[in-house]
Structure 1
């Protein structure tokens, strides 16, 4: 695997763990924004 794929796999695992531990819908929304927002993790890659 290349670095981009490894980074995406790591991000995916991290986000899935955060979603699994989210207590409610606002917590899931916070994960979504942290991942896909304008300055989110995906944009930073």
Structure 2
């Protein structure tokens, strides 16, 4: 979740809400960024 948080802070700081989801896989920084901060097959709630 640390990479999700960092990714949102860097690339989505203007969003009203962030959804940090522990179900998302830990894939590393670059894969998290490539996945738009949301790696894995988890359905977004927002």
The question of a shared fold, defined as TM-score above 0.5 by the shorter chain, is answered with no
Query: More helix by proportion, 1 or 2?
Result: 1
- Structure with the greater relative contact order (CA < 8 A, sep ≥ 6): 1 or 2? 2
Which has the higher Rg, Structure 1 or Structure 2? Answer: 1
Compute the TM-score of the two structures, normalised by the length of structure 1.
0.31
